[in-house]
Amino acid sequence: MIMQQWLASGVEQGWLPEIFQYPFVTYALIAAVMVGPLLGALGTLVVVKRLAFFSEAVGHGALTGVAVGILLGEPATQPIAALFGFCLSFALILHWVKSRTQVPYDALVGVFLAFAIALGAALLLYVAKVVNVHILENVLFGSILTVTPNDLILLGLISLVSWVMIWRYGNQALMSALQPELARVQGAGGRRARVTLLDYGFVLLIALITVAAVKIIGAVLVGALLLIPATTARLISHNLRGFFIRTLLISTGSCVAGVVLPMALEIPIPSGAAIVLLASSLFLVVVLLRQLGWLQTQANG
Amino acid sequence: MNALTASDVSVNSDPKVSGKPEINRGKPEINSPPKIKSGPALHLDQLSLSFGDNMLFNPVSMTLTAGQLHMLTGANGAGKSSLLKCLAGLMPHQGEICWLWPENSSDQVDKVAYIPQLEAFDATLPITVEDYLLASIQPRIFFRKPPVKEQQRLEQLLSRVGLEQKRNRKIGQLSGGERQRLLFARALAQDATLWFLDEPMNGLDQEAQGQILQLILQLKAQGCTLVMVHHDIEFVTAHADQEVRICDGNIMVVTPAPVDDGLVVPLGVAQI
């Protein structure tokens, strides 16, 4: 409320555009400011652990989760329980199968991804009988119009849990990603369960964050935002601290700009699409600048 | 895999063949330098490894004494690395392996290091030597300057493995020898007393091999238990306390001696 009043006064005094007088813009901005850093922080681990394709698959699995939720009677704009349940089950089963087969990981994720999308597409026909399918677009690609104060509370709780997990176990996850065998041997003798728990905890985080970002970025595009800011920051960072901070800045900047710019420029596109388009554009600009040699010095420290 | 303390089991007491676990309980031996810390003994009970019907090595029972350098040798494909991974708990196997820690402390199980053959890191990852070691030292993520204590620990580790000048280099851009020393530094950061080394000098030049050897000898002098795969017989003869040879699916203990053919002791007599 305080932020909304502050923004409204800014509009009255003329130093803020008129769009900030609407409460939904305020809610969307708060959500963007919470989701952005969270996606950035987790994105650094996703990139180091080479789980980009995995997070992408979990995000795409959201299509099925949404369809299941609607068919089970959840609100069409907010099928949170089914979305979370499906994404988590999907991720856990995928991770479990991975640890018990010799199938290359990318092939395995590809199979699961195709299965999830196909199942979602099959269910859509039944969903169409219950609700207008276009409502699903908001869930899949994000819409700032749908963010409510209750969503912000849920987002805040998920952010809190996620930040505690990242702070507490981030270093272990990082080291385990860099040298999995050493992590496993150190987890031997009764503590191997801790290493396994860490892996499953990471899977839980991906599922949680998919739910957290569903209103702003959309379930399908969450995976992209876990990947793109960290990949961009990696190109222009020389150490871990720089990598982390730049990822957070790019992710948060993309989220905020993706919410505000379409409104300010009156471009009718989903917020998730705008956020991912901005992040991708920045990535391409960085690649281009590096090719031209303008960022070479910085990247080499 | 079990992690037990020495008091949990009894071992054949004939030192000629069994090599009873030399448990260091903090009392320095007469005429020997005091050991700073001691690693565990490893007891194998009917350990074997097979893939389907193909048995890589036959059941063996033996004890690898605490605080010594044990070298695993054998021809290519004999199963040296597989045996090492079994001992480290990284590979499913038949039979039992016990790590017999000298002190009754649950923290000991974390003091285990595994150094693989030359490991490649992604050269583009923005993680420096300093980041890597700080992440090993610090239990939680912090992106501020580390506290004085951790900074001192970092300096000690860098100095110990001779990587002070490379602290700001990305880990993926280190040379082979530097990378191995970094892995050693990480294990040192966790005060490892049980080390599994899988041909850590493979692919390194003479100078880098010498640096790794110095680290290994320092660890041995400190009383750590080291189990190392190596193929160079001269090296094994010169430095191993005990050689464990895999030959035609059988595991034998070879007492290293300053002659070409050491005394081969068939196993099966050192069982619990």
* Domain range annotation of chain B: 2-13+30-121+174-265, 123-173
* pLDDT for the residue numbered A53: 83
Looking at the complex, report in whole angstroms how far the Cα of residue B32 sits from the nearest Cα belonging to chain A.
Answer: 31
Q: What is the dihedral of CA B93, B98, B101, B105, to 10 degrees?
A: 80
Phi and psi angles of residue A283, each rounded to the nearest 5 degrees, phi first: -60, -45
Q: Sort out which chain B residues have CB atoms less than 8 A from A188's CB and list them.
A: 1, 3, 88-89, 109, 112
Closest CA to A175 of B133, B162, B219: B133
Residue with the larger pLDDT of the pair A219 and A69: A69
* pLDDT for the residue numbered B26: 37
Looking at the complex, report in whole angstroms how far the Cα of residue A187 sits from the nearest Cα belonging to chain B.
Answer: 7
**Interface list for B 175-204 with A (CB within 8 A):** 183, 186-187, 190, 196
* pLDDT for the residue numbered A193: 63
* pLDDT for the residue numbered A14: 80
* pLDDT for the residue numbered A276: 92
The whole-angstrom separation of Cα B224 and Cα A33 is 50
How confident is the model over A145-160, as a mean pLDDT? Answer: 86
- Sign of the torsion angle spanned by Cα atoms A125, A130, A133, A135: negative
pLDDT at A46 over 80: yes
Whole-number Cα distances in Å, B67 to A184, B78, B241: 23, 26, 10
Q: What is the mean pLDDT of chain A?
A: 83
CB contact under 8 Å between A185 and B131, yes or no, is no
ipTM over 0.95: no
The whole-angstrom separation of Cα B257 and Cα B16 is 15
Q: Sort out which chain B residues have CB atoms less than 8 A from A298's CB and list them.
A: none
The whole-angstrom separation of Cα A246 and Cα A243 is 5
* pLDDT for the residue numbered A249: 95
Q: What is the CATH number of domain A19-299?
A: 1.10.3470.10
* pLDDT for the residue numbered B259: 39
pLDDT at A49 over 50: yes
pLDDT at A143 over 60: yes
Residue with the larger pLDDT of the pair A50 and A245: A245
Residue with the larger pLDDT of the pair B13 and A105: A105
Helix (H), strand (E) at residue A267 = none
Position A228 confidence tier, pLDDT thresholds 50, 70, 90: very high
Determine the residue of chain A that is closest to B192 in CA distance.
A186
- How high is the mean pLDDT in each 10-residue block of chain B (272 residues)? 44 34 36 56 85 81 87 86 87 84 62 79 86 84 77 89 88 87 86 87 81 87 89 81 86 62 38 26
CATH-assigned architecture of domain B2-13+30-121+174-265: 3-Layer(aba) Sandwich (3.40)
* pLDDT for the residue numbered A257: 93
CB contact under 8 Å between A240 and B128, yes or no, is yes
How confident is the model over A274-286, as a mean pLDDT? Answer: 94
Q: Sort out which chain B residues have CB atoms less than 8 A from A230's CB and list them.
A: none
How confident is the model over A212-229, as a mean pLDDT? Answer: 84
β-bridge mates for residue B69, sequence order? B226
pTM equals 0.78
